[in-house]
Amino acid sequence: MPDKTVTACLLIIGNEILSGRTRDANLAFLGDNLNRLGIRLTEARVIPDEAEVIVATINDVRARFDYVFTTGGIGPTHDDITAECVARAFGLPLIQNPEARAILEAHYPPGDLNEARLRMANTPEGATLIENPISRAPGFQIGNVFVLAGIPSVMQAMFASSSHRLTGGKRLLSASVTAALPEGLMAAGLKAIQKRYPEVEIGSYPFHRMGVYGARLVLRSVDEARLAAARAEVRELVEQLAKDAKNA
């Protein structure tokens, strides 16, 4: 690739996702929206609400990826420990952020801003807030780590209000061909095309629907012309094989 790839890692914090009760909806949104900015989501981890695990994971991934996004654990209850864990990971004190406090004071009716809700004003010292246009309690950014809410609508709004801070590289373009043919029939042809187009990443994603085995063939590249050429070859391969199968 001509440009350095800009990478991101998502940390989904929450026992609820791991137990299977709640399905994450944030990974797909971030994967897609980061790519629009030329940033490639190259890893995602789902980790439990345990301080030691969160701190160690943040320190592992913030050194290895250009950007880290966390979702979950920034509400007012005792199990919301993301802010304090991020502060610990950075070796920074957790402070009551005056700007965040002012936002909460403006939002809640007098008397409603109790101790638990005030916890949502805590950030590592030096953090930059991320606006939350929906339920007000802000997220924050410290270094390359963006701390977002877990509720999808709130996470998405926070992403929108902070994405101008991200600097992407070349956008990875994609194209796809859906084939109602078993992968095993296409594999040799696809391998040959992949060999001729090293700058295009060709993935085959099988499905099994109503008794039919097929695959979605997805091509991705930063090079638009090569992507189009590779896609034309894949399409031709699939059409030829479908014809052969019909006549067989």
- Residue ranges in contact with a copy of itself by CB under 8 A: 14-24, 27-33, 35, 40-49, 53, 75-80, 112, 114-117, 119, 134-135, 150-151, 153-154, 174, 183-188, 190-191, 194, 201-208, 213, 215, 218, 220
Instruction: In angstroms, give the least distance from the CB of 143 to a copy of itself.
Output: 22
Bridge partner residues of 212 (DSSP): 209
Q: Characterize 97-114 residue by residue with b for buried, 16 or more Cβ atoms within 10 angstroms of its Cβ, and e for exposed.
A: beebeebbeeeeeeeebe
Which of residues 51 and 187 has its CB atom nearest to a copy of itself in the complex?
Answer: 187
Which of residues 126 and 213 has its CB atom nearest to a copy of itself in the complex?
Answer: 213
Which of residues 142 and 217 has its CB atom nearest to a copy of itself in the complex?
Answer: 217
Angle at which helix 152-162 crosses helix 26-36, to 10 degrees, equals: 20
Instruction: In angstroms, give the least distance from the CB of 75 to a copy of itself.
Output: 5
Using CA atoms, how far apart are residues 126 and 99, in angstroms rounded to an integer?
A: 12
Instruction: In angstroms, give the least distance from the CB of 45 to a copy of itself.
Output: 5
The HSE-up count of residue 212 (CA atoms within 13 Å, CB side) is 9
Angle at which helix 82-90 crosses helix 51-64, to 10 degrees, equals: 50
Which of residues 76 and 126 has its CB atom nearest to a copy of itself in the complex?
Answer: 76
Instruction: In angstroms, give the least distance from the CB of 72 to a copy of itself.
Output: 9
Which of residues 78 and 164 has its CB atom nearest to a copy of itself in the complex?
Answer: 78
Q: Confirm if 159 and 8 have CB atoms less than 8 A apart.
A: no
Using CA atoms, how far apart are residues 141 and 156, in angstroms rounded to an integer?
A: 15
**Which residue stretches of the chain are H helix?**
15-18, 26-36, 51-64, 82-90, 98-107, 115-118, 152-162, 183-196, 224-247
Instruction: In angstroms, give the least distance from the CB of 126 to a copy of itself.
Output: 26
Which of residues 28 and 125 has its CB atom nearest to a copy of itself in the complex?
Answer: 28
Instruction: In angstroms, give the least distance from the CB of 99 to a copy of itself.
Output: 19
